[in-house]
Amino acid sequence: MKKLFFFTFLSALTFNSAFAQDYLSCNLKISDNKIDCPFFGACPQKELKESKSQLIVEVHEGETKKGKVQLKKVLVKPGTEDENDNKIIVFKDDQRPEKIKVEKKAEMISYDIKSGINYSVTKFGDTLDILFKTSAYELTITLSGNGRYQDYVLTDDNAISVFCEKLNKDVYEDMIAKKEALEIYKQEKAKAKVKAE
């Protein structure tokens, strides 16, 4: 009987450990791009002074997840002497350069660059061990419980603000539901504005 109870307890423990999961949510922000605007006339690139992205990693017990936050470079007036007046790096998922180019007819191109932020996330019990690594810097973070942490990761071009928090499944699903609802709201608002015009 004792052996049966022990086996059942051990099986339940193994089952729970195998399916236990947490989510790492990190808000990333570049805020120090160099923007050069003329004294007169339009300056569409000023909208790219900052760039934001969100990293979400689902990780299970005893598991390590690895990946890379990718970046891209934006050139204003490419192929001219003014090309290097602006120094703009944005996250790869930031679609504003392409949007600005089309909507404001800006002389602008963007392309992926090799430098970025490599990351790894490991879960042990209630703890997440996080490593952010670039060619210029390493940042190690440990989050437990409902932990939060804010710091900077340095690249060759920028200081990127990092705000990370550990989320359980319920909080994560609420966050995603809110994000989707806000996106629908923005789309409906944009459609209403077009109809009004």
Cβ proximity of 164 and 24 under 8 Å: yes
**Cα(120)–Cα(178) distance, integer angstroms:** 27
Query: Looking at residue 72, what is its pLDDT?
Result: 97
Q: Are 145 and 166 in contact (CB under 8 A)?
A: yes
Q: Is residue 3 situated within a structural domain?
A: no
55-78 pLDDT, tens digit each: 999 999 999 999 999 999 999 999
Is 29 domain-assigned? yes
Whether 63 and 23 have beta carbons less than 8 Å apart is answered as no
Residue 187, domain member (yes or no): no
- C-alpha dihedral, 54 to 60 to 63 to 69, nearest 10°: -10
The answer to whether 147 touches 165, Cβ cutoff 8 Å, is: yes
Distance CA 114, CA 43 (A): 28
pLDDT of residue 195: 75
Q: Is 137 a domain residue?
A: yes
Looking at residue 146, what is its pLDDT?
A: 86
145: which residues sit within 8 A by CB, 6+ positions away? 126, 166
pLDDT at residue 12, rounded to an integer: 40
Any domain includes 113: yes
| Residue 102: exposure state from Cβ atoms within 10 A (0-12, 13-18, ≥19) | exposed
Instruction: Find the domain containing 93 and state its range.
Output: 19-169
The SS3 assignment for 169 reads helix
Looking at the domain assignment, is residue 195 inside a domain?
no
Give me the pLDDT at residue 13, please. Answer: 41
In total, how many domains does the chain have? 1
Do the domain assignments include residue 35?
Answer: yes
Neighbours of 36 (CB within 10 A): 14
Whole-number Å distance between alpha carbons of 184 and 179: 9
Residue 188 domain-assigned (yes or no): no
Phi, psi of 195 (to 5 degrees): -65, -40
List of the chain residues with pLDDT < 50: 2-19
